[in-house]
Homo-oligomer: A and B are copies of this chain.
């Protein structure tokens, strides 16, 4: 008797493919005389945030995409942040804007994200982007939410007519992912810490996406055989290592597939920020082909 094998849904190869698409598109835009460019606004001393922003910078550079990091310091006021976001939204040479969290205490993130021009909102932070997704208008989804869909597509996991349970109701993953998958004809269940026993919702699902931010929240007892599990969690342990929301050891051998952390959804997310930037640039730059 052998234990069934749980397939690892690595995001690394897919991230490479998406980066290459972004690079090719960036080159095409350059040939048309446009220079796709991204701005990241940061206002924190947090080291891991700076590390993350540098990784975006490096990835953008490697793809031929301009990346301007605007570091306003940990004591930036809401007014200063607002002015910068307004300027970047109006600046024709910037095609994508990321407002990096965390922000200084007392600053209203809600008020600021609404200032990011929707056509430059490449991480779907402006509520208008979420609303447009909901009504089927063109908009950028948060890159993490789209990363889940791209991983399912990459591994040929069908979603139309199937039942997807999303654990977590955040505006960054749970809700936009539900909207993206509804658009793909899935039935969507969104459950969370207050919606009763998790397994009531996760066991009947064909696909379970976990985005709750709690280490080991989902284990083998929550999953039916042959379920596809996507782990969106990125929890930093005291020793600095990164783990997801899924107890991989207990899910392996039960689930049909599981995305690893690290090396799963996260790898794809950064690549999608680049792809969104060139997509945004393509929409903002008038086509020159027929000129």
Contact = CB atoms under 8 A, between A and B. Distances in A.
A188 interface: yes
Interface stretch (A47-55, A179-187, A245-253, A260-268): A179-187
A99 to B, nearest CB: 14
B130 A161 contact: no
Interface residues of A, number: 36
Interface stretch (A75-83, A132-140, A216-224): A132-140
Contact of A163 (B130, B188, B200): B200
Contact of A191 (B129, B130, B187, B195): B187
B137 A134 contact: no
A126 interface: yes
B127 A132 contact: yes
A110 interface: yes
Given A127-B131, A134-B127, A134-B134, A179 B175 contact: yes
Contacts of A128: 127-128, 131
A190 interface: yes
Interface of A: 110, 126-132, 134-137, 160-163, 169, 171, 175, 178-179, 182, 185-192, 194-196, 200-201, 204
